[in-house]
Amino acid sequence: MNNVWLVIGLALLPGLGNLAGGMVAEFVRTTPRLLNVALHAASGIVIGVVAIELMPEALQNLAGWWIALAFAAGGLAYVGTEALVEGKSQEKTGGGAMWMIYVAVAVDLSGDGVMIGSGSAVSPSLAIVLAAGQLLADFPEGYSVVANLREKEVPRARRILVSLSFPLYCLAAALIAWFLLRDAPDAAKYVALSFVAGLLTVAAVEDIMSEAHEAAGDTRASSLAVVGGFTLFVLISAGLQTVLGGG
């Protein structure tokens, strides 16, 4: 039972980061340049999650061909879902376009949930580090989404309700992944982590970076933000592992 509550608590963190970013977009004026830098930092954090936590776990416990297949499947799943959402978005305007934005964010947060649920099935300490990374990465994403909805003149009450609903997707996906994997063979757990690694890599390189470029043109600060985001996650990971007794 304690593990269930841990999964629930950790799964709420990415959604709350997204919600916090959305509330900043609602009530605080920022600049496109700042959003560009923040999204580049988020991309660096996500790359750090893959490079520092997910892939080393998989490499220590799975054959290389299993990792390759699962990673490729995760990347293809993200690309396929994104293509489907974009196709539907082009067919719609106004409220329909708003719901396509909503679906895209819900898919992203569901992926975060699968990662946290899979990580919890492997190790609570791993799940804590993963959740901390996504909490930071989802903050600028939440800002970007609400800013986009504001541009489409979606009413504030509806924007806030949309932001409040996002944590539920991460929570539901995390619980489903955890219940499916908690008693599964270890190989299945690491295949799931490799799948999520592929999904997150495409999200960081294509989706988050694209949002950053739409906000404003890149500068040296953008490049430094990627490095800074990666470095920040490494420090957080090392610190948490030390506190939790894993470092």
Give the integer Cα–Cα distance in Å for 155 and 148. 12
CA-wise closest residue to 233 among 51, 75, 60: 51
Q: How many domains in the chain?
A: 1
Backbone phi and psi for residue 126, each to the nearest 5 degrees, phi listed first = -65, -45
CA-wise closest residue to 46 among 73, 17, 70: 17
Which of the pair, 140 or 151, is modelled with greater confidence? 140
CA 168 distance to own-chain centroid: 14
Say what the pLDDT of residue 29 is: 75
Helices (H), the chain: 2-27, 32-48, 55-61, 64-90, 95-122, 124-151, 156-181, 186-202, 209-215, 220-243
Q: CB neighbours of 29 closer than 8 A, spacing ≥ 6?
A: none
Give the integer Cα–Cα distance in Å for 145 and 158. 13
Which of the pair, 1 or 200, is modelled with greater confidence? 200
Give the range of the structural domain holding residue 58, as residue numbers without chain letter. 2-243
Averaged confidence pLDDT in the chain: 82
User: Count of CB atoms within 10 A of residue 90's CB?
Assistant: 10
Say what the pLDDT of residue 88 is: 66
% of the chain with per-residue pLDDT over 70: 91
> Under a CB-based contact definition with an 8 Å cutoff, are residues 159 and 22 in contact?
yes
The answer on pLDDT for 247 being more than 50 is no
Say what the pLDDT of residue 172 is: 92
Q: ∠ at Cα 105 (26, 5), nearest 5°?
A: 95
Say what the pLDDT of residue 90 is: 61
Give the integer Cα–Cα distance in Å for 33 and 213. 10
The answer on pLDDT for 95 being more than 60 is no
> Under a CB-based contact definition with an 8 Å cutoff, are residues 122 and 10 in contact?
no
pLDDT for 3-51, tens place per residue? 888 889 999 998 888 888 888 888 877 778 888 888 888 888 888 888 8
Which of the pair, 90 or 186, is modelled with greater confidence? 186
> Structure pTM?
0.82
